[in-house]
Structures are given as C-alpha cells and as structure tokens.
Amino acid sequence: MNVGKMTSREICKLLEIVVGNTEPVADSAIDTEREENLKTLIDIGDWVLDGLLYSAEHRKDPYYSSKSVGERAYATMLEWKDWLATKEEELA
C-alpha cells in the first residue's frame, strides 16, 4: 500500500476515522461497537509497542545510525512507562 508520506497528525486523524470512537456512553447498543473499536485500537497499540521494542534492541549496536534509532526507541519506551505509571495512580 503506497499512500505517500503522512505526518504523525495525519496518521492519528486517519486512525480516528478508521478505528472509530472508543469512549463508552452507557448505552449498550453504542458501547458494544465502541468495545470492538477499543479491541482494534489495542491491536494497533500492540503493533506500535512491538516496533519500539524491536528498534530499542539496537540501542547497543556499534553503528551510529542503528544505535541512534535504538536509543530513541528505548527512551520513548521509558517515557511511556513513566507516563503510564502516572495515569495508573490517577485512575486508582
């Protein structure tokens, strides 16, 4: 599939459209569909995290370019870990 280079913002907007809303509204007819949307969003999140993990494995490579990518991926994973810990505390 060749859709050309898209910005992060464009990709996020496309995901909003394609995946659909995931926030429940306490209406079972609507929330059933939103739960399916959430399952799709979780699958996408798993794919993103796998990509970060595979890239982070290169953070100790001897080559600058692959090491740089790996370090950035690893740093992002640590940032997300901290962010998730904060959100977990807020939701508790």
pLDDT tens for each residue of 67-87 = 999 999 999 999 999 999 999
User: How many other β-carbons are positioned within 10 Å of the β-carbon of residue 83?
Assistant: 10
Helix intervals (H) in 3-63: 8-19, 28-56
Does the structure show a pLDDT above 60 at 38? yes
Crossing angle between the packed helical segments 64-91 and 28-56, to the nearest 10 degrees:
140
Is the pTM for the entire model greater than 0.85? no
The residue extents of the domains of the chain are: 1-48, 57-92
pLDDT tens for each residue of 2-28 = 567 899 999 999 999 999 999 999 999
Tell me which residue has tokens 């464009």.
Answer: 10
- Tell me how far apart the alpha carbons of residues 38 and 42 are, in angstroms, rounded to a whole number: 6
* Residues sharing a CB contact under 8 Å with residue 67, sequence separation 6 or more, in sequence order: 58, 59, 60, 61
Q: What pLDDT score does 5 carry?
A: 87
